[in-house]
Amino acid sequence: MEDNKFQIKSRIFKRERVRENRNNLVIVSKRKEEANKNQIELSFKNPSLEPSHLFIVGRVMVKEWERLLSQYPVTRSFIQIREEGQIRFYISFQVDNDLSSREIKSTISLVTEILEECLEKVLIKADKELPIQEADVVSNKSAEEITGNKMVSDNNELISQLHQEIEEQENLLKKLAVQQELLLEPIFEDVVEEKVTTEVVPEKTDKSTDNQKEEMIAVLSMQVTSLNKEIERLRAEAKESQKINLELDKANIKLNEIVQQNKVDETRLEKISEIEKKLRALKQENSEYRIQLNESQHMIEQYKNSNGHLNESLKRLETTHDEFIKNAQTEMTKLETELKEAEKKILIEVNGRQKLEIQLNDTQVKLGQEIRSSEKREDKIKQLNLDLSRQLKQREKATNEMSDLEELVDQLKADLKLSKVSNDILKDELNAYEEQKAKWQQIDVWQTKYEDLETKFNELQNESLSYRQEIHLLNSQLTSIEEQLEAPVTKEAKNQISYSLEKEVVKEPAKVNSLLNAPLSVVEKDDYDYFSYEEDPYVEEVITEELMNIRKKDQMKDEEEIKELLEYYYEEDFKDIKVDKDEYRKHILSFKFLSFRWSQVFIINEADKNAAFLEWCSDYIDKIESFEEELSFDVKKSFFAKNYVTMDESTYHILKGYSKLSTYLDTYYLKVSYYIDKYFLNEGNR
Q: What is the tens place of the pLDDT at every residue in 636-669? A: 876 666 788 888 888 899 999 999 999 999 888 8
pLDDT value for 19: 86
**332 belongs to a structural domain:** no
Mean pLDDT of the chain: 71
Same domain, 565 and 677: yes
Same domain, 673 and 563: yes
Instruction: Tell me the three state secondary structure of residue 483.
Output: helix
Final residue of a structural domain among 127, 146, 161:
127
pLDDT beyond 90 at 546: no
Same domain, 572 and 458: no
pLDDT value for 658: 93
Same domain, 236 and 121: no
**123 belongs to a structural domain:** yes
Which domain covers residue 439, as residue numbers?
425-478
Count: domains in the chain: 4
Give the mean pLDDT of 173-182: 64
**Cα separation, 183 vs 230, whole angstroms:** 9
Instruction: Tell me the three state secondary structure of residue 168.
Output: helix
pLDDT value for 90: 92
Pair type for strands 74-81 and 9-13 = unpaired
| Top-confidence residue, 467 or 673 | 673
pLDDT value for 359: 77
Same domain, 469 and 566: no
Same domain, 562 and 668: yes
**466 belongs to a structural domain:** yes
pLDDT value for 367: 80
Final residue of a structural domain among 234, 259, 284:
259
**491 belongs to a structural domain:** no
Same domain, 473 and 560: no
2 DSSP assignment: B
Sheet (strand 644-648) strand order? 576-580, 644-648, 636-637
Same domain, 466 and 569: no
Tell me the percentage of the chain whose pLDDT exceeds 70.
Answer: 53
Same domain, 456 and 562: no
| Top-confidence residue, 238 or 582 | 582
Confidence of residue 342 (pLDDT cuts 50, 70, 90): confident
**Cα separation, 281 vs 289, whole angstroms:** 12
Chain Cα centroid distance, residue 642: 27
| Top-confidence residue, 293 or 107 | 107
Indicate yes or no: pTM above 0.85. Answer: no
Q: What share of the chain is helix, strand, coil (3-state, %, to 5)?
A: 75, 5, 15
pLDDT value for 599: 87
Give the mean pLDDT of 120-127: 81
**78 belongs to a structural domain:** yes
Query: DSSP letter string over 547-565?
Result: HHHHHHHHHHHHHHHHHHH
CATH number of the domain at 84, please.
3.30.300.100
Instruction: Tell me the three state secondary structure of residue 70.
Output: coil
Closest residue by Cα to residue 39 from 102, 128, 107, 139 = 107
**Cα separation, 344 vs 356, whole angstroms:** 18
Confidence of residue 130 (pLDDT cuts 50, 70, 90): very low
**184 belongs to a structural domain:** no
**119 belongs to a structural domain:** yes
**16 belongs to a structural domain:** yes
**Cα separation, 163 vs 161, whole angstroms:** 5
